[in-house]
Amino acid sequence: MAEWGAVEVHQLLDRFPATERTIEATSKIIDANSTVVGLALVSGNVPILCVWNCDDELYYGSFDAMTEQDWGARPRISDAAFAVK
Protein backbone atom coordinates (compact mmCIF):
# COMPACT_ATOMS: atom_id res chain seq x y z
CA MET A 1 0.00 0.00 0.00
CA ALA A 2 2.84 2.42 0.72
CA GLU A 3 3.73 2.75 -2.96
CA TRP A 4 0.10 3.58 -3.86
CA GLY A 5 -0.69 6.06 -1.10
CA ALA A 6 -0.80 6.60 2.62
CA VAL A 7 -2.53 4.21 4.97
CA GLU A 8 -4.31 5.93 7.85
CA VAL A 9 -5.85 4.22 10.85
CA HIS A 10 -8.16 6.21 13.13
CA GLN A 11 -10.46 5.52 16.04
CA LEU A 12 -13.88 6.27 14.49
CA LEU A 13 -15.25 7.85 17.66
CA ASP A 14 -12.54 10.52 17.43
CA ARG A 15 -14.11 11.73 14.17
CA PHE A 16 -17.56 12.40 15.68
CA PRO A 17 -18.63 15.54 17.49
CA ALA A 18 -18.37 14.90 21.25
CA THR A 19 -22.16 15.03 21.66
CA GLU A 20 -22.83 12.44 18.93
CA ARG A 21 -20.83 9.38 19.78
CA THR A 22 -23.53 6.73 19.39
CA ILE A 23 -23.96 5.04 16.02
CA GLU A 24 -27.52 3.74 15.76
CA ALA A 25 -27.58 2.67 12.11
CA THR A 26 -25.75 2.66 8.82
CA SER A 27 -27.28 3.69 5.51
CA LYS A 28 -26.11 3.55 1.93
CA ILE A 29 -25.48 6.83 0.14
CA ILE A 30 -26.70 6.59 -3.43
CA ASP A 31 -26.42 8.78 -6.51
CA ALA A 32 -29.09 9.73 -9.04
CA ASN A 33 -28.71 6.30 -10.72
CA SER A 34 -29.17 4.44 -7.38
CA THR A 35 -25.49 3.46 -7.42
CA VAL A 36 -23.97 3.15 -3.95
CA VAL A 37 -21.28 5.83 -3.60
CA GLY A 38 -20.78 5.80 0.15
CA LEU A 39 -21.87 4.83 3.63
CA ALA A 40 -23.44 7.04 6.30
CA LEU A 41 -23.13 6.34 10.02
CA VAL A 42 -26.36 7.62 11.56
CA SER A 43 -27.37 8.84 15.02
CA GLY A 44 -30.93 10.03 15.66
CA ASN A 45 -31.75 9.91 11.92
CA VAL A 46 -28.88 12.33 11.23
CA PRO A 47 -25.71 11.31 9.36
CA ILE A 48 -22.79 11.99 11.70
CA LEU A 49 -19.99 10.56 9.57
CA CYS A 50 -19.89 9.56 5.91
CA VAL A 51 -17.33 7.52 4.02
CA TRP A 52 -17.29 7.72 0.22
CA ASN A 53 -15.25 6.99 -2.89
CA CYS A 54 -14.74 9.75 -5.44
CA ASP A 55 -12.27 9.64 -8.33
CA ASP A 56 -10.75 6.43 -6.92
CA GLU A 57 -9.97 8.11 -3.58
CA LEU A 58 -11.52 7.21 -0.22
CA TYR A 59 -12.81 10.16 1.83
CA TYR A 60 -14.60 10.65 5.13
CA GLY A 61 -16.39 13.60 6.69
CA SER A 62 -19.82 15.15 7.03
CA PHE A 63 -22.63 14.59 4.53
CA ASP A 64 -22.33 18.26 3.52
CA ALA A 65 -18.62 17.78 2.79
CA MET A 66 -19.48 14.77 0.67
CA THR A 67 -22.06 16.64 -1.40
CA GLU A 68 -19.45 19.31 -2.24
CA GLN A 69 -17.76 16.76 -4.52
CA ASP A 70 -18.68 17.00 -8.20
CA TRP A 71 -21.29 14.21 -8.45
CA GLY A 72 -23.36 15.67 -11.27
CA ALA A 73 -26.46 15.21 -9.11
CA ARG A 74 -26.62 15.46 -5.34
CA PRO A 75 -26.32 12.04 -3.70
CA ARG A 76 -28.90 11.07 -1.10
CA ILE A 77 -29.05 8.78 1.87
CA SER A 78 -31.05 5.64 1.21
CA ASP A 79 -34.21 5.09 3.23
CA ALA A 80 -33.02 1.56 4.04
CA ALA A 81 -31.01 1.68 7.27
CA PHE A 82 -29.24 -1.18 8.99
CA ALA A 83 -29.36 -1.10 12.79
CA VAL A 84 -26.08 -1.27 14.68
CA LYS A 85 -26.13 -3.28 17.88
DSSP line for 45-61: TEEEEEEEEETTEEEEE
Task: Kindly tell me if the per-residue pLDDT of 1 is higher than 60.
Answer: no
According to the model, what pLDDT value does residue 40 have? Answer: 92
Give 54's Cβ-side CA count (13 Å radius).
Answer: 20
17 in any annotated domain: yes
Task: Kindly tell me if the per-residue pLDDT of 45 is higher than 60.
Answer: yes
Overall number of domains in the chain: 1
76 in any annotated domain: yes
> 63 is in which domain, residue-wise?
12-83
Report the predicted TM-score, pTM, of the whole model to 2 decimal places: 0.73
69 in any annotated domain: yes
Tell me what the mean pLDDT of segment 11-37 comes to.
78
Share above pLDDT 90 across residues of the chain, in percent, rounded to a whole number = 8
